[in-house]
Amino acid sequence: MKTVKKPNKWKHVVYLILALAMLVYALPLISFDPWAGWVSLFGAVWAGFAFLVIGAHLHFLLGVNEEKQRELDKIRRAKLREWELKWQEEGGRGQSV
């Protein structure tokens, strides 16, 4: 049986730090002046995406989905057992022919 590998959280920590650094560097440079037009809109959208990236990595690091992952693992194991039984039944019929 396959062993389930624990997810490597270091990658998410590094990406979170990089996203935070980009945001800290860029926020003072972005013009949110209402008369800036497209520049202001681009800055707001860019900052929004940066916050989404940061939120996604925090969500993973805080383990909000651990219970959901356990449920998915249960379903995956049940399907594997089902396929094994089906395969054994089909293999047994094939031998008697």
Q: What are the residues whose beta carbons fall under 8 Å from the beta carbon of 31, sequence distance 6 or more?
A: 39, 40, 43
What pLDDT, on the 0 to 100 scale, is given for residue 2?
A: 54
Long-range CB pairs of 82-86 (<8 Å, 24+ gap) are none
- Model confidence band, residue 8 (pLDDT cutoffs 50, 70, 90): confident
- The string of pLDDT tens digits covering residues 20-66 is 999 999 988 887 777 778 888 888 899 999 999 999 999 888 876 77
What number of helices (H) and strands (E) belong to the chain?
3, 0
What pLDDT, on the 0 to 100 scale, is given for residue 97?
A: 45
Is the pLDDT reported for residue 92 higher than 70? no
Q: Closest Cα to residue 23, out of 46, 40, 55?
A: 46
